[in-house]
């Protein structure tokens, strides 16, 4: 089914290019693949276009598709292809590349439009290709490299039915309202500064509080099963990553530092090689195994400017990273304990339903990975058995493994139904081999250990972007940076409101007192827009009750606008305390 949808969307990309070429004949075409939920095509225009041009292009697409009866396939020699695309350097580059790989060169034609293409189209475009929509325009470097030309990328979507298209368009409109890049600054969670640099978020007190609450939750789950915190520096000598294999794999993505003495260092892009050196600081008896290390720290990657996107893709990534060094006999127990932590964390943060993916190596390109095929087969079989033992449905994804080992990826679904890969469990026998890590077994011999990599949030920045959009900024009570706003009806109730505010603070509640000169309706609107879970309204009724029996009373209003009436403050605080402890959503 997905293949059919992909073919439909790839066909829509051809139709988009055909429309563009009719409207702007001097345009150079690059590539136009199907992607998740849609398609795009990259162009080099002689004069810039804008999103105001999208309706014109879309109209032309509808005009053209009526004459598209099929996609006709033609095979060309390299020479014929180069001649056909002699004025298009992007197509020529692809032709040279494909011919080196021994691939046959094919073009597909529908109507008057013809393009270099590997195939994958629908059979009856005029009948099937009806329900599409152009969405946006963006800049994109050719082949993803900032050393190449910046092209214009037009995004669109396409579905088999009108109903599916409409539902998707409604969903993306809702997604725009929840966009963390807009909501985050509006809720005063994070900011960016041109003086600091792109892809380097700055966290405000409120945003930092949420990050810390999440990290503390992960640590509490880890602490109970025996993890120990460690700390590592943010830079390292090149030697460490040469041994681990990361230098060869990621050298183009590293921020490099050359010292005054000429030594080459790098800002760490990951933490695992550092943790190997903590384990290797002394001999370990089998009685001391496993060793469980955890650290929450930033890593740094030299992402291209055009690929940065809010918190979803940044240059500084905070990882709640942990590594277990254990014996072969302990691998399954330790991995399943991590699984339990992951399940508990995502229940507590509002993602109770997880799905699972077994990410495997690509056997046709084993040169991309460390180690031997036998070691990989072993590790993959071990993870497959764990998934079977847990009795969960899962998919296998060839080529999605880390370069040092296979992994179980945990997939969450947000409130809009979008899927996100979040936590991972990775079994690694290659890093211990490269760093010669061992323990002393019962026979007094050196026994090679196994390394398990585990990130619960993966990247706190990325997880925060998912969390903000999932809740549309209306965080559950335990995560809300401000849990209660105390709102006096007028300034003559400020003293009583101050008393309520201090009582809440003394009980550990995150309370804010609003003593501004605004009207009550304006105050309620402001705090509601800030998505504060509860408002405590203090006025004449509350003051009268206070003077009658000496008890503090508050009138409660929720951020959804529901009036919960007047209750004793102690009763309200007790309900809050229970909800926070249970991490109620």
Please pick, among 115, 321, 409, 514, the residue that the annotation labels catalytic: 321
Please pick, among 272, 316, 326, 439, the residue that the annotation labels catalytic: 272
Q: Is 180 a known active-site residue?
A: no
Alpha-carbon distance of 374 to 376, in angstroms, equals 5
Alpha-carbon distance of 294 to 227, in angstroms, equals 6
Q: Is 321 a known active-site residue?
A: yes
Selection from 512, 482, 508 nearest residue 497 by Cα: 512
Sheet holding 264-267, edge to edge: 235-237, 264-267, 256-258
Cβ count within 10 A of residue 181: 16
Q: Is 453 a known active-site residue?
A: yes
Chain centroid to CA 179: 13
Check residue 271 and report its DSSP letter.
Answer: S
Q: Is 319 a known active-site residue?
A: yes
Q: Is 301 a known active-site residue?
A: yes
Q: Give Cα separations from 443 to 117, 282, 283, 285, 286 (angstroms).
A: 62, 19, 15, 11, 10
Alpha-carbon distance of 266 to 254, in angstroms, equals 6
Chain centroid to CA 177: 18
Pairing label, strands 484-488, 511-513: parallel
Please pick, among 9, 206, 319, 483, the residue that the annotation labels catalytic: 319
Alpha-carbon distance of 268 to 298, in angstroms, equals 8
Where helices occur in 147-267 by DSSP H, the ranges are: 162-178, 180-186, 205-223, 238-244, 246-250
Please pick, among 131, 274, 292, 453, the residue that the annotation labels catalytic: 453
Q: Is 234 a known active-site residue?
A: no
Please pick, among 301, 361, 531, 559, the residue that the annotation labels catalytic: 301
Q: Is 494 a known active-site residue?
A: no
Selection from 534, 421, 413, 460 nearest residue 190 by Cα: 460
C-beta of residue 190 within 8 angstroms of C-beta of residue 204: yes
Check residue 152 and report its DSSP letter.
Answer: E
Label residue 199 left, alpha or beta by phi (over 0 means left) and psi (-120 to 50 means alpha): left
Q: Which residues are catalytic?
A: 272, 301, 319, 321, 323, 407, 453
């Amino acid at each position: 089914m997905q293949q059919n949808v992909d073919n439909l969307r790839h066909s829509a990309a051809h139709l988009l290019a055909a429309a563009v070429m009719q409207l702007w004949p001097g345009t150079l075409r690059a590539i136009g693949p199907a992607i998740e939920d849609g398609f795009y095509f990259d162009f080099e225009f002689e004069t810039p276009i804008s999103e105001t041009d999208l309706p014109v292009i879309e109209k032309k697409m509808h005009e053209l598709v009526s004459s598209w009866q099929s996609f006709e396939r033609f095979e060309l020699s390299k020479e014929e292809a180069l001649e056909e695309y002699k004025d298009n350097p992007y197509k020529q580059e692809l032709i040279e590349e494909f011919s080196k790989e021994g691939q046959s060169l094919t073009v597909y034609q529908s109507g008057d439009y013809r393009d270099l293409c590997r195939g994958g189209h629908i059979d009856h475009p005029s009948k099937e290709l009806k329900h599409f929509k152009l969405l946006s325009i963006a800049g994109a470097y050719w082949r993803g490299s900032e050393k190449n030309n910046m092209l214009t990328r037009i995004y669109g979507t396409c579905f088999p039915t009108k109903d599916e298209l409409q539902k998707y368009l409604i969903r993306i409109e809702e997604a725009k309202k929840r966009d963390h890049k807009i909501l985050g600054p509006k809720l005063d969670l994070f900011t960016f500064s041109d003086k600091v640099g792109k892809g380097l978020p700055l966290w405000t007190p409120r945003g930092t509080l949420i990050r810390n609450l999440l990290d503390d939750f992960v640590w509490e789950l880890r602490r109970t099963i025996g993890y120990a915190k460690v700390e590592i520096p943010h830079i390292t000598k090149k030697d460490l990553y040469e041994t681990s294999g990361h230098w060869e794999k990621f050298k183009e993505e590293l921020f490099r530092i050359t010292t005054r003495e000429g030594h080459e260092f790098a800002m760490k892009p990951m933490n695992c090689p550092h943790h190997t050196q903590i384990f290797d600081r002394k001999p370990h008896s089998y009685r001391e195994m496993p060793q469980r290390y955890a650290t929450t720290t930033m890593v740094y990657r030299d992402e291209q400017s055009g690929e940065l996107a809010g918190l979803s893709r940044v240059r500084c990534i905070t990882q709640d990273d942990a590594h277990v060094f254990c014996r072969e006999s302990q691998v399954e127990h330790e991995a399943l304990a991590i699984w339990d932590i992951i399940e508990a964390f995502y229940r507590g943060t509002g993602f109770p339903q997880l799905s699972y993916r077994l990410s495997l190596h690509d056997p046709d390109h084993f040169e991309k990975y460390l180690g031997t095929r036998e070691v990989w087969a072993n590790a993959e079989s071990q993870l497959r058995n764990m998934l079977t033992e847990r009795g969960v449905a899962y998919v296998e994804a060839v080529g999605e493994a880390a370069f040092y080992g296979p992994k179980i990826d945990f997939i969450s679904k947000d409130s809009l139904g979008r899927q996100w890969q979040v936590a991972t469990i990775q079994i690694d026998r290659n890093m211990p081999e490269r760093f010669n890590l061992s323990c002393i077994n019962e026979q007094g011999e050196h026994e090679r250990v196994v390394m398990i990599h585990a990130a619960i949030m993966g990247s706190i920045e990325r997880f925060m972007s998912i969390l903000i959009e999932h809740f549309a900024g209306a965080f559950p009570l335990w995560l809300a940076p401000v849990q209660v706003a105390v709102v006096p009806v007028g300034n003559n109730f400020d003293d009583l409101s101050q008393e309520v505010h201090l009582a809440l603070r003394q009980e550990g509640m995150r309370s804010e007192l609003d003593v501004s000169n605004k009207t009550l309706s304006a105050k309620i609107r402001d705090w509601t827009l800030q998505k504060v879970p509860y408002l405590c309204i203090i006025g004449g009724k509350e003051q009268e009750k206070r003077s009658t029996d000496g008890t503090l009373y508050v009138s409660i209003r929720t951020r959804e606008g529901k009036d919960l009436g007047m209750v004793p403050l102690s009763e309200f605080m007790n309900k809050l305390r229970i909800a926070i402890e249970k991490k109620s959503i």
